[in-house]
């Protein structure tokens, strides 16, 4: 069976990838696709829920591509020395060292600060005389960006420059040089880690520099850069889209929005989980490759092949979710894959959930007449197959 070329239908695909995944799923859970012209060969795309869970935790599907020729035009940098691009036992070691500091207690202690940052951003929105704004610029981006920077102890980060690099890493614009933003961001973070080592504080990055396990093991300078890269990029990009996709879904379903407003305490946690399932921030997990022949869903993926696990496709699988294309904040929340599954399950999931709940509740309480701005034009969808979201979200009140 020939590979399906997603790039040839990019505009329609970006607007509604779910229909595309549903069509594929009807003929099987695993397919060959062309998604990136920088890859030499087609990839295998997993769109079934059961099969996605299997692939996400399969020991034969590897993440560390640095000694392969899968991306020949992308230079390896220190930023690649992170948990997401590593395999056991190296991944196990990194995760253990980071988990010692990235604790639920540290995350929960940030709740008052997350609320204060949110309130300040909403104050600035409310002061706008035009009573309209791009919700990405005014709330969805600055909230998680400020939170992750304060958590890591880098309040002076050049956020506009960082936002550009981060966007290019996760959703590269057409014609951009392969790996250029990655290299620039890696160099920037190397300077950041060096400065933090010379002048530590009580923040997470300082704690990671100091941390030692029982055997005296610690993160190397390169691993610290990789960890800063992963926490900064993953720590804000995903939450931007959680907030904006969630607000878009609610505004498109006014009856459920009204029900949520009437019972935030009872409905908000489940509503955020449904936002994550229905239109989650990460469309496809980052590339894996087969270290050996691997069978998923009755399909043998040959050794050396790249694999994409479609979190978006899996979370709309009718074999797992009844009426999966229906947004329903009353749905039982268990089982979605928006944060992944297995050993690479998102370490920052509790923080993302907290930020999403605080931001969405505070926004809706502050602006009871919030609607999408009809003068805002058509959605500007993020490019590529990794992230799911819009580049701007015009709203008015």
pLDDT range class, residue 214, cuts 50, 70, 90: low
Question: Within 10 A of 213 (CB to CB), how many other CB atoms are there?
Answer: 11
Q: Which residue range forms the structural domain that includes residue 68?
A: 4-396
User: What CATH number does the domain containing 281 carry?
Assistant: 1.10.630.10
Q: What is the pTM of this model?
A: 0.92
Each residue of 142-175: pLDDT tens digit?
Answer: 999 999 888 888 767 777 787 788 878 877 776 6
What's the structural domain count of the chain?
A: 1
pLDDT the model gives residue 138: 97
Q: What is the pLDDT of residue 14?
A: 83
Whether 50 contacts 319, CB under 8 Å: yes
Gap between the Cα atoms of 90 and 335, Å rounded: 28
Q: What pLDDT, on a 0 to 100 scale, did the predictor assign at position 127? A: 98
Phi, psi of 317 (to 5 degrees): -80, 120
pLDDT at 12: 79
List pLDDT tens digits, range 7-38: 656 667 888 999 999 999 999 999 998 876 55
Torsions phi, psi for 396 (to 5 deg): -145, 165
Asked whether the beta carbons of 63 and 344 are under 8 A apart, the reply is yes
> What is the spatial distance between Cα 336 and Cα 273, in angstroms, rounded to a whole number?
8
Average pLDDT over residues 281-294: 95
Rounded alpha-carbon distances, angstroms, from residue 374 to 103, 251, 364: 42, 12, 19
């Amino acid at each position: 069976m020939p590979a399906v070329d997603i790039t040839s239908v990019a505009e329609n695909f970006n607007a509604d990838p779910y229909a595309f995944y549903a069509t594929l799923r009807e003929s099987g859970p695993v397919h060959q696709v062309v998604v990136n012209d920088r890859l030499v060969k087609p990839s295998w795309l997993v769109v079934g829920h059961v099969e996605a869970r299997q692939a996400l935790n399969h020991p034969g599907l590897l993440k560390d591509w640095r000694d392969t020729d899968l991306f020949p035009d992308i230079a390896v940098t220190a930023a690649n020395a992170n948990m997401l691009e590593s395999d056991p036992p190296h991944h196990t070691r990194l995760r253990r060292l980071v988990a010692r500091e990235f604790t639920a207690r540290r995350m929960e202690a940030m709740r008052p600060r997350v609320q204060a940052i949110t309130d300040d951003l909403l104050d600035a929105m409310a002061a706008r005389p035009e009573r309209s704004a791009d919700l990405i610029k005014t709330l969805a981006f600055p909230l998680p960006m400020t939170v992750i920077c304060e958590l890591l102890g880098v309040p002076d980060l050049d956020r506009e420059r960082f936002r550009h690099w981060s966007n290019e890493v996760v959703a590269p614009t057409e014609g951009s040089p392969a790996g250029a933003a990655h290299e620039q961001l890696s160099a920037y973070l190397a300077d950041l880690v060096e400065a933090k080592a010379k002048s530590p504080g009580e923040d997470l990055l300082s704690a990671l520099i100091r941390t030692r396990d029982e055997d005296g093991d610690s993160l190397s300078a390169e691993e610290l850069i990789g960890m800063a890269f992963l926490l900064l990029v993953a720590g804000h990009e995903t939450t931007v889209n959680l907030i904006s996709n969630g607000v878009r879904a609610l505004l498109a379903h006014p009856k459920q929005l009204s029900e949520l407003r009437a019972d935030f305490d009872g409905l908000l946690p489940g509503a955020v989980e449904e936002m994550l399932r229905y239109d989650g921030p990460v469309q496809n997990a980052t590339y894996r490759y087969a270290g050996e022949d691997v069978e998923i869903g009755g399909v043998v993926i040959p050794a050396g092949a790249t694999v994409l696990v479609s979190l978006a496709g899996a979370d709309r699988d009718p074999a797992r979710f009844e009426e999966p294309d229906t947004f329903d904040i009353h749905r039982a929340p268990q089982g979605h894959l928006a944060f992944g599954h297995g050993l690479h399950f998102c370490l920052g999931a509790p923080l993302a959930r907290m930020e999403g709940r605080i931001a969405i509740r505070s926004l809706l309480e502050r602006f009871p007449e919030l609607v999408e701005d009809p003068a805002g034009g058509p959605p500007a969808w993020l490019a590529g197959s990794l992230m799911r979201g819009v580049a701007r979200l015009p709203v008015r009140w």
